[in-house]
Amino acid sequence: MGEKAIWETIQPSRVFYYFEQISQIPRGSGHTRQISDYLVSFAVDHGLAYIQDELDNVVICKNGTKDTAPVILQGHMDMVAEKRPGSPHDLLEDPLALEVEGEYLTARDTTLGGDDGIAVAYMLAILEADGYVHPPLEAVFTVDEEIGLLGARGLDFGRLKAKRMINLDSEEEGILWAGCAGGVSAQVEIPVRFIQAQGVQVPVTICGLKGGHSGSDIHKKRANAHILLGRFLYGLDQQMEYGIAGLSGGDKDNVIPNKCRVHLVLEPGSLEAFAAFCERWQEDIRREYAGSEDGICVVFEQEGEAEVPVLDPSSESRLLFFLMEVPDGVHKFSGVCRHLVETSSNLGSLRLGEDALYAASGVRSSVEPAMEHIREKICFLAEFLGGTAKAEGGYPAWEYKEDSPLRHVMAEVYEELYGRPPKVAAIHAGLECGVFYRAIPGLDCVSIGPDILDIHTPDEKLSIPSTRRVFDYLLDVLKRI
């Protein structure tokens, strides 16, 4: 007899059945056509009305067990596709290798995609069943949330009738999220020039960092590999001459980069001093990040002597200045909501091309003028260094509202189930709720979800008991409203 599927060993089995099904489909941001077509096939197989738009967003409608006001259930079908260094996993072709570790579901060597695959699984389990009591449902599955809420921003909201929405893209059980930050990507391009240089080629990698989500993890004192690289290069510049032949790290501005790589060219007689510098720098930076980033490493190789193109002195200085001065991390906590990060930025993408340094920072804030201030600082820095900067992928904040009938009902149901009130809060991460809130006048919205740890990293884990409880809670909420 063959080994049982993951879903056959976990309750509620249909939620995990669908989670396992969609985990067989590669669905990294920008590659969502296959999962979109799967959702259409599901709707056809179950006799449900659906819409698939030109962006591959999918809306599936189901009649209610009573003729009451409809409700939107909403989540996104794409995931952040990351893997461990050295893993042979092909994120564009291979299915995820799901594993159960105690009370958690995880994926071998890759991100799990619980953000936001669990929303897809929840909605499909509800849509297929005949025994649940619920109002008319508009299940909205969006694409490319992780790269700028692109699906939600291109959705035809005129096709939706509901004025109430339960978003299923949160990662902490027991919290009713009632507001989120807006965001924008600051894209920087700084021109550079190269000259020929003779020396020993030494690729250097800063690695061993935790990384994480640039919204929900930005306050956890995790190091940004790109910012560390700037400090490393600046410190090395005080000790010896070197050339920079290449540089790369990260490709998503909403992910705190956990590694980056620079290709250095050193004078042949400086290797011993360089090794000593690396050892001292690693020790110092580990001491600085003790308790939050204990695994920081500097790894270098020696590839022999050659003549290669390296940045000219002026370009090298501009690169160092940019990395030392670019805003990064938490800039301000909210004065209204205790412990809420109000404004932050994350240098998530960095690449040295043939004629320019390319960088992208994800800027977030629940206060639009504060977000604009940080974006303007990044743009001014780029222009000061002779480069250009532009804003891309802006999305609105979801403003907290004191009066929310939907949130009131959901709080009541939660307290009846668990004997304690839920926490009501706003989140620093961007949610599609902001786009829906701006597009649907009078929308009453709440965001919930089960416990998911270390999202956007290969350490991502989905709590199985929490997934079960949140599903039962969602069913009770739908029954009540």
Active site residues: 78, 145
DSSP codes of every residue in 386-430: T-EEEEEEEE--B---S--HHHHHHHHHHHHHHSSPPEEEEESS-
How far apart are alpha carbons 14 and 3 in whole angstroms? 18
Cβ(181)–Cβ(458) below 8 Å: no
List C-alpha distances in Å: 396 to 19, 152, 389, 434. Answer: 30, 11, 20, 5
Cβ(58)–Cβ(8) below 8 Å: no
How far apart are alpha carbons 438 and 432 in whole angstroms? 10
β-partners of residue 243 are 265
Cis previous bond, 191, omega within 30:
no
How far apart are alpha carbons 277 and 255 in whole angstroms? 29
What crossing angle do the helices spanning 33-45 and 13-23 adopt, rounded to 10°?
Answer: 140
Q: Tell me which residue of 466, 459, 467, 455 sits closest to 217, measured CA to CA.
A: 455
- The helix or strand, by DSSP H or E, that contains position 333, with its residue range, turns out to be strand 329-333
Handedness of CA 347, 348, 349, 352 (dihedral sign): positive
List C-alpha distances in Å: 50 to 27, 47, 95, 120, 478. Answer: 20, 9, 26, 15, 21
Phi–psi pair at 288, nearest 5 degrees: -65, -35
How far apart are alpha carbons 479 and 460 in whole angstroms? 32
For residue 194, the number of C-alpha atoms closer than 13 Å in the C-beta half-sphere is: 17
Handedness of CA 148, 174, 73, 34 (dihedral sign): positive
Say which DSSP state 169 is in.
-
Q: What ranges make up the beta strands (E) of 192-324? A: 194-207, 212-213, 242-251, 255-256, 260-266, 297-300, 305-311
